[in-house]
Amino acid sequence: MKQARAAGKTVGLVPTMGALHVGHVSLIEAAAARCDRVVVSIFVNPTQFGPGEDFDKYPRPFENDVAICAKHGAHAVFAPSAAEMYRGKNLTWVTVEKLTEPLCGRNRPGHFRGVTTVCAKLFNVVLPDLAFFGQKDAQQAAVIRRMAVDLNMPLEIVVCPTVREPDGLAVSSRNQYLGSQEREEATVIYRALQKGGELIHAGQTDASRIIDEVCGVLRRVPALQVEYVSLVDAESLQEIEQVRGKVLLAVAGRLGSTRLIDNILVDTTAK
Ligand code: AMP
């Protein structure tokens, strides 16, 4: 990569935790379309998992992941060990304020600090010109974008659309934890988001009404333990009372022990 960079080639980084799927592939392909060299990082980052979360059971099909990277245009895979990424105990952390408080920040204390710190490390090691993230993790994308701006990081953050299964479920490495009934039930999340999107498109601006309707759809699956349904400003991630401009409708919930998140972005200014 050093030589490529010296020769004026652009480097794109796709940070992942592995267990690659079509969502990751869309990022790799987007990177390959815009960059001369594409690096995929595969690192199950311990510092973004809380106690009792799925760090130990997180799937790690490394050989298959490397094959997927090669097939879809990656030039290199960076798969460091935890000891390489965190030599000794880290005393330096990157924290983005405010944006990390709502949504997933409420239920996953320390999660975003782990994400921003590892991304800053990955950026420092790989030195990408562009880094690619998925809209699926909307809050993560907003937080990373803000980190890059606030710390004058010399790279562009590119956010790519959420890739979904044919029935609407957002593709996720964690979907493989779902039993067949749960897999079926999980589709309610996107149906609920779509309901909210339809209301917004139809001109409904009262956030609490929209949220009530979304919750109504989600209640059809009693097994889903809803963590939050939030309507926030797409940039500040602050909850809104009235829909205006670009808004993010986001849901998180649990089916059994599997935590699922999804969101839709609605731009009410778009014609
Ligand atoms: P992960 O391996 O889950 O940490 O995800 C790595 C990157 O892939 C993140 O930027 C995610 O937002 C992105 N990603 C995960 N699932 C999807 C999806 N279904 N569509 C688009 N991007 C995704």
What pLDDT was estimated at residue 89? 84
- Ligand 1 centroid – CA 187 distance (Å): 18
Q: Is the CB of 114 under 6 A from ligand 1?
A: no
| Contact by Cβ (8 Å): 144, 157 | yes
Where would I find the H helices in 86-132? Answer: 104-107, 111-126
3-state secondary structure of 202: coil
- The active-site residue out of 21, 24, 72, 75 is 24
What pLDDT was estimated at residue 29? 98
Distance, in Å, from the CA atom of 232 to the CA atom of 239, rounded to the nearest integer, reads: 4
Q: Is the CB of 139 under 6 A from ligand 1?
A: no
Name residues whose C-beta falls within 8 Å of residue 198's C-beta, 6 or more positions apart in sequence. Answer: none
What pLDDT was estimated at residue 67? 98
- Ligand 1 centroid – CA 9 distance (Å): 25
- Look at ligand 1, atom 10, and give the residue with the nearest C-alpha: 133
Q: Is the CB of 127 under 6 A from ligand 1?
A: no
- Where does residue 153 rank: exposed (0-12), middle (13-18), buried (19+ CB within 10 A)? middle
- Among 198, 197, 188, 191, residue whose Cα is nearest residue 253: 188
Give the burial string for 170-205 (b: 16+ CB within 10 Å, else e): bbbbebebbeeebbebbebbbbbbebbbebbeeeee
Q: At 79, list the tokens.
A: 């798969």
- Ligand 1 centroid – CA 144 distance (Å): 13
- Among 190, 211, 204, residue whose Cα is nearest residue 244: 204
Parallel/antiparallel/unpaired status of strands 224-233 and 246-255: antiparallel
In the chain, what is the greatest distance between 2 CA atoms, to the nearest angstrom? Answer: 57
What pLDDT was estimated at residue 264? 98
Q: Which 8-state DSSP code applies to residue 257?
A: T
- Ligand 1 centroid – CA 7 distance (Å): 30
pLDDT single digits (tens) 150-192: 999 999 999 999 999 999 999 999 999 999 999 999 999 999 9
Q: At 86, list the tokens.
A: 């965190």
| Residue 212 bridge partners (DSSP) | none
Parallel/antiparallel/unpaired status of strands 246-255 and 258-267: antiparallel
For the question of residue 201 being annotated catalytic, the response is no
What pLDDT was estimated at residue 271? 67
Is pTM beyond 0.75? Reply is yes
What pLDDT was estimated at residue 206? 98
Q: How far is CA 105 from CA 209, 237, 255, in A?
A: 24, 11, 19
- Look at ligand 1, atom 15, and give the residue with the nearest C-alpha: 23
Regions of the chain with pLDDT less than 70: 271
- Among 13, 80, 65, 53, residue whose Cα is nearest residue 174: 53
